[in-house]
Amino acid sequence: MNHDMSDIIGKSRALRAVLEMAMKVAPTQSTVLITGESGSGK
State pLDDT tens for residues 30-39.
Answer: 998 989 999 9
* Contact assessment for residue 21 and residue 39, using Cβ atoms and an 8 Å cutoff: no
State pLDDT tens for residues 2-19.
Answer: 777 788 888 899 999 988
Of 32, 27, 28, the closest CA to residue 5 belongs to: 27
* Contact assessment for residue 18 and residue 41, using Cβ atoms and an 8 Å cutoff: no
Query: In angstroms, what CA-CA distances link 39 with 4, 30, 31, 36, 42?
Result: 25, 25, 22, 8, 8
State pLDDT tens for residues 17-30.
Answer: 988 998 899 899 99
For the chain, the structural domain boundaries read: 1-42
pTM confidence score: 0.63
Task: Give me the phi and psi of 33, to 5 degrees please.
Answer: -105, 120
